[in-house]
Structure 1
Amino acid sequence: MSVNPQPRRLTEGYIRTLGYLDRPYTVRDTAVTGLLVQINQKSKSYKVQRDLYTGERGRRRFVKTVRRTLGTTDDITLDDARTRAQELIAQVKRGEDPNARPDDKTANPDAWTVRRMYDEYAADMRARDCRERTIEDVLSRRDRHLKAWLDIPISEIKRSMARERHKELTRESGKRAANMVFKEFRAAFNLAIKAADDPDAIGDNPVKAVTFNKERASNRVIMPDDLPHWWERVQAIPNPIRRDMHVLGLLSGLRPGTLVSLRREWVNLNERAIVIPRMKSGRSFALPLSPYMVELVKRVIAAGDLLYAGTPWLFPTRANSSRDVIATQVWKEKTLPSETGHILRHTYRTVAQRVGIDRINARLMLDHAVPGIDGVYVHEKALFDGLLDTQDKMTEHLLALCTPQRTQHAEKCCDESL
């Protein structure tokens, strides 16, 4: 492969064929001029690059070359990358630098509009290495749900306004959406207070007056008595790859977004692990595999080889439009409404508590930060053998809950043999 391939119309399938080399290289998209994919040693990222000019036509002056990373090819689709690239290119064509920070007017509370507050919050999230997709979602919710507030100074957002808008959003978009919007608003406002030279001029956080909705938890965990019925319906799913995907979701407690994007290159069956380079926390994570999970992964790989030869994904599917082989995008099943996805993570944690798994181990198994001084001295890699034992115990108990008849039959056969 040439180190600098010629520009071409990018496709998801072509991007997957691009191999990793010792040094980075790029391939430019001819469909959206300025969009490119950069292949590093271990990752592939969408980027946009465009020259910025200022001045009237005929007297334009070159200012700089603007470059922005849109996200990795695992985080966003090619269609999303093209859409975001076109938005940024439109800014550059207007003579705006999308990477420029607002003028430092922190001493003036009127300069801290809701729009500016969120832009600063987005910049802070990027500095903390948050996922670009997460940042874009925050800004999208701002523009959609707080459109009328965007150019209002945050010092003029009163407590009564926050309470009323939260109630309106609850009626319009639901309890969880309303809570999410104002939790993000609260975090952005707190950042503004820290960053402003005169925080007293900004005032107190108006979200303090908001009474957050109580989100129903009844549909967030599958009760032990309901697991046999859940198991039967999962086993009835005709697609073997999706069937095993949901089972692995229950046995691992992985976040659904991570589960569907697992890559084969991360699987190390000899070490009984799936090593995920980057989780929501920003850290890498080695998922321990029980023997049952190892056999499940082997079965999924074999099915993938048969149905989607050469796929890099553990749970592949075909795109509806292009029919390219892609990672599974949707984890919901019509036959299991509200019983796939994140609910399986909650169920895993609940069962861990029921079994009596050590609290630190339970957090490590789910890639949760360990609080307090324990989080300073606990090292997951050194504890991995113990986590394998914990996963064995979890799998054994979950399978016993899901298949009580089979478990009772096995115990009966064992007693008769004795």
Structure 2
Amino acid sequence: MNNTRILLSDKTIAQLPTPKDGWYLARDTELKGFFVVVGRRKRTFTVQGDLRQGGKRSSSIRVSIGDTRELTTRTARAMAKEYLAQISKGQHPKATKEVGHSGSVPVGNTVGATVTLRQAWQRYLVAHLIRKGRSEKTISGYRDHVERLFAEWLDTPLSELAMDPARVANKHDDLTKQNGPYIANGSMRTLRAIYNHARKTNRSLPRDNPADAIDWNEEKRRDTGMGISDLTEWFRELAALENPVRREFHLLTLLSGSRTTALQQVKPSHIDFHRRTLHIEKPKGGRKRAFDIPLSREMILCLIRTIRFGRQIYPLQSQKWVFPGDSASGHLAETKEDRGTLSKWGNDLRQTFRTVASAAGVSEFDAKLLMNHSIPGVNAGYVTRQKLLEDHLRGQQQAISTAVFSALGKSLTKDSDLGAWLGRWASCRAASRVQTKPDVPSNEQDRATSAHTRRG
């Protein structure tokens, strides 16, 4: 058959007649040098151009892009533009492959060209997130970005996004308007990570990450923590919460500076009253970052009250979780509160912990250790956290808790709600009513309870 010239598209390529023998070319009327080789068994996207050396034409080469059954015409056209640009600069697009006698290059592995966002996401999910023990919250955040915000791109080849960076930049602009600057930036960081991960096993993907095309929104660190003078009013708000388990949860979040997701999954077996520690089994970063939090007297009393309230309100769930709830998991699942009821919670309290730590004279280094932050610098790698835990860090933790409660001043005696919850005799009653833990000898827990209650 004779060669033909048409505007190549998925539809027009599908309508091309199959030759009885041999092959023919269907050249694109839009992009010079881009065509489809139509054979009896397959149809192949191809480009042809002149290699130039020193500004002079040295040879004409033909390079295969991929099978029309595996690539969309839009993707193939984008790749053709890249190939032709390289050829015009004297570079062979597939210089590492052996060139045939006709000057063409055999069709190579087109997996990189055809891998879709959905496929890349599934591999990233299993190989990078699940296998490395990332938290459910972290995985949920990535999934929301990919499966909700990028839903229309799930079956789009990554190479297509890479060859059309304006499309990605426009998407970032739209997300900024519709969802806000932080979510827009976060979703693009997810896309960037997935693309980089996919390219490790698909070297035919363009080196330029499509997320590099965007103009990142400015992000300012949220400063929502409280100072010492703000704590009294916050304690009054907290005392008014109806659910005592939630009340103690927010208090422990403040006293420990921990992430809420870590505290939600604390189990009774994680509390060691003898050593006065709380084990965080799965913090941010996974099990390899597991650590022990030293407990101050106020933190121990908080946990004692939590155990008592949990066993009264959630007798079944409290057997497994320190902060039980009605969720499917059995532990407290939603930790957000109405701002009109409780003005600060979650990360606000984590920032407050750092603020109070500074006011209490605790060094930034010790505060980071207590919060399980990564410590930059070579020397920090020689610090053995467990050696500091028993005495030094517990003393620093106590200094922070003391600073928090000192802010209440005489409110514990003047405010009836605060007194009923945190007053001296209220703590004694809470301690005396707590049931014996099944996995801790009663005399050991009694000693821990009575000792810390007297000093509380």
Task: Give the shorter-chain TM-score range.
Answer: 0.5 to 0.7
Instruction: Tell me the secondary structure at the aligned position of residue 344 of structure 2.
Output: coil
- 2:348 and 2:326 map into 1 onto residues whose CA distance is 25
Question: Which of 283, 287, 295 matches 1:279?
Answer: 283
Question: Which of 359, 365, 383 matches 2:364?
Answer: 359
Shift of 1:382: 1.6
Runs of 5+ unmatched residues, structure 1: 1-104, 410-418
Q: Which amino acid aligns with 2:349?
A: L
Shift of 1:389: 0.9
- 1:305 and 1:244 map into 2 onto residues whose CA distance is 14
Q: Which amino acid aligns with 1:314?
A: V
The residue that corresponds to 2:382 in the other structure is 377
Alignment map for 1:280-359 (pairs within 5 Å): 280-282=284-286, 283-309=289-315, 311-312=318-319, 313-319=321-327, 326-334=330-338, 335-336=340-341, 339-359=344-364
Preserved contact between residue 154 and residue 202 of structure 1 (Cα < 8 Å): no
The residue that corresponds to 1:368 in the other structure is 373
The residue that corresponds to 1:121 in the other structure is 124
Pair 228,365 (structure 1): closer, same or farther in 2 beyond 3 Å: same
- 1:318 and 1:408 map into 2 onto residues whose CA distance is 34
The residue that corresponds to 1:186 in the other structure is 192
Structure of higher CA gyration radius: 2
Q: Which amino acid aligns with 2:132?
A: R
The residue that corresponds to 2:398 in the other structure is 392
Instruction: Tell me the secondary structure at the aligned position of residue 316 of structure 1.
Output: coil
Preserved contact between residue 106 and residue 195 of structure 1 (Cα < 8 Å): no
Question: Which of 262, 269, 287 matches 1:265?
Answer: 269
CA deviations on 1:131-150 (whole Å, 9 max, x unpaired) are: 35633542342121112222
Alignment of 1:156 onto 2:160:
yes
The residue that corresponds to 1:112 in the other structure is 115
CA deviations on 1:336-388 (whole Å, 9 max, x unpaired) are: 45621122112212333444423332222112222232343222212112111
Question: Which of 140, 144, 147 matches 2:148?
Answer: 144
Shift of 1:129: 2.6
Shift of 1:272: 0.9
Pair 375,156 (structure 1): closer, same or farther in 2 beyond 3 Å: farther
Pair 145,154 (structure 1): closer, same or farther in 2 beyond 3 Å: same
Preserved contact between residue 223 and residue 351 of structure 2 (Cα < 8 Å): no
Shift of 1:281: 1.8
Pair 341,390 (structure 1): closer, same or farther in 2 beyond 3 Å: same
Alignment of 1:203 onto 2:211:
no
The residue that corresponds to 1:167 in the other structure is 173
Instruction: Tell me the secondary structure at the aligned position of residue 330 of structure 2.
Output: strand
CA deviations on 1:180-212 (whole Å, 9 max, x unpaired) are: 2111112222223444334xx513123223233
- 1:227 and 1:214 map into 2 onto residues whose CA distance is 31
**What TM-score do the two structures reach when normalised by structure 1?**
0.64
Shift of 1:120: 2.8
Shift of 1:250: 0.5
Instruction: Tell me the secondary structure at the aligned position of residue 134 of structure 1.
Output: helix
Q: Which amino acid aligns with 2:293?
A: L
Shift of 1:263: 1.4
Identity across the alignment (%):
29
Shift of 1:237: 1.5
The residue that corresponds to 2:231 in the other structure is 227
Preserved contact between residue 369 and residue 375 of structure 1 (Cα < 8 Å): no
Pair 239,407 (structure 1): closer, same or farther in 2 beyond 3 Å: closer
Pair 153,384 (structure 1): closer, same or farther in 2 beyond 3 Å: same
Instruction: Tell me the secondary structure at the aligned position of residue 350 of structure 1.
Output: helix
Q: Which amino acid aligns with 1:382?
A: K
Shift of 1:284: 1.7
Instruction: Tell me the secondary structure at the aligned position of residue 221 of structure 1.
Output: coil
- 1:107 and 1:374 map into 2 onto residues whose CA distance is 47
Of 361-370 and 289-298, deviating more is 361-370
- 2:380 and 2:114 map into 1 onto residues whose CA distance is 39
Preserved contact between residue 107 and residue 197 of structure 1 (Cα < 8 Å): no
Preserved contact between residue 227 and residue 356 of structure 2 (Cα < 8 Å): no
Runs of 5+ unmatched residues, structure 2: 1-107, 415-456
Pair 161,347 (structure 1): closer, same or farther in 2 beyond 3 Å: farther
Pair 204,405 (structure 1): closer, same or farther in 2 beyond 3 Å: farther
Alignment map for 1:403-414 (pairs within 5 Å): 403-405=408-410
Aligned residues: 298
Pair 133,249 (structure 1): closer, same or farther in 2 beyond 3 Å: closer
- 1:343 and 1:355 map into 2 onto residues whose CA distance is 18
Preserved contact between residue 252 and residue 299 of structure 2 (Cα < 8 Å): yes
Instruction: Tell me the secondary structure at the aligned position of residue 314 of structure 1.
Output: coil
CA deviations on 1:114-163 (whole Å, 9 max, x unpaired) are: 22332232222233232356335423421211122223332332332222
Preserved contact between residue 165 and residue 211 of structure 2 (Cα < 8 Å): yes
- 2:305 and 2:167 map into 1 onto residues whose CA distance is 55
Shift of 1:394: 1.1
The residue that corresponds to 2:436 in the other structure is none
- 2:376 and 2:132 map into 1 onto residues whose CA distance is 19
